[in-house]
Amino acid sequence: MPELPEVETTRRGIEPHLIGQRVSRVIVRERRLRWPIPEDLDVRLSGQRIEAVERRAKYLLIKAQAGTLIAHLGMSGSLRLVDGELPAEKHEHVDILLETGMALRYTDPRRFGALLWSEDPLNHVLLASLGPEPLGDDFDGERLFRLSRGRSMAIKPFIMDNAVVVGVGNIYASEALFAAGIDPRRAAGTVSRARYLKLAEAIRQILAQAIECGGTTLRDFVGGDGKPGYFQQELFVYGRGGEFCKRCGAGLREVRLGQRASVFCGGCQR
């Protein structure tokens, strides 16, 4: 699933091509995504000038004059700019045609993403209860420490909770916990303030680095320019169960936490 850096990479890739451009038409070939695409999306968006392309958690907010298109990439979705005359292939469900002749094309083989319309996106039911952005001023180790008190759940699913902080998915939670030296199985309420301060900084640094690298190339992900990310070569633990730790040489262990595979180093993470 595309995580926050992949979504931010997509945002940065498509933003320069959309800002200030007017939508001429919306072509919907398949409405059956995670939630049905609104029947009147073409009417609402056509003729509108795009004013901003923002991100909230893993949602892209394409802001027009009269409202906002909320886009989620789901498990396998992508948004990229193509020539508006380029024939659509299988799984290329939506084209947002621009007056320039280009099209923002939405592709989603698994159809688990979403394209929704809202006049008040930040208060939309999908966004209203989200926690702070991990790269924003409202997120720090003090917040993690405060919210973790009395919590018996493992620390990895705790930091993946979107009410605690948004956008820390499986890949980057694994990598941040390794960087902070924290065992992902440890109960969130038993981790000290000092270790949470270190963990929050690790989350910030790893997400920022992944964004600069263009995201992580896993399965179907490509950025808004159609190019894959290359943060995968920087991974220390995610997807490396049974391999040797790059830091200490010990064998990496794999367990299940919150129905997700979690790889960690028993020597480096306590």
Is 2 labeled as catalytic in the residue annotation?
yes
- Which residue is catalytic, options 3, 8, 92, 175? 3
The answer on whether 91 is annotated among ligand-binding residues is yes
What CA–CA distance (Å, rounded) separates 208 from 234?
A: 13
Is 55 labeled as catalytic in the residue annotation?
no
What CA–CA distance (Å, rounded) separates 117 from 115?
A: 7
Q: Which residues contact 120 (CB under 8 A, 6 or more apart)?
A: none
Alpha-carbon distances, residue 2 vs 38, 76, 79 (angstroms):
23, 7, 12
The answer on whether 22 is annotated among ligand-binding residues is no
Is 58 labeled as catalytic in the residue annotation?
yes
- Which residue is catalytic, options 55, 58, 156, 195? 58
Q: How far is CA 23 from the centre of its chain?
A: 25
Q: Is 194 exposed, middle or buried (0-12, 13-18, 19+ CB in 10 A)?
A: exposed
- Which residue is catalytic, options 111, 186, 253, 260? 260
Alpha-carbon distances, residue 31 vs 35, 37, 39, 88, 155 (angstroms):
8, 5, 8, 15, 38
The answer on whether 219 is annotated among ligand-binding residues is no
User: Residue ranges for the binding site?
Assistant: 91, 110, 151
Active site residues: 2-3, 58, 260
User: Residue ranges for the binding site for DNA?
Assistant: 91, 110, 151
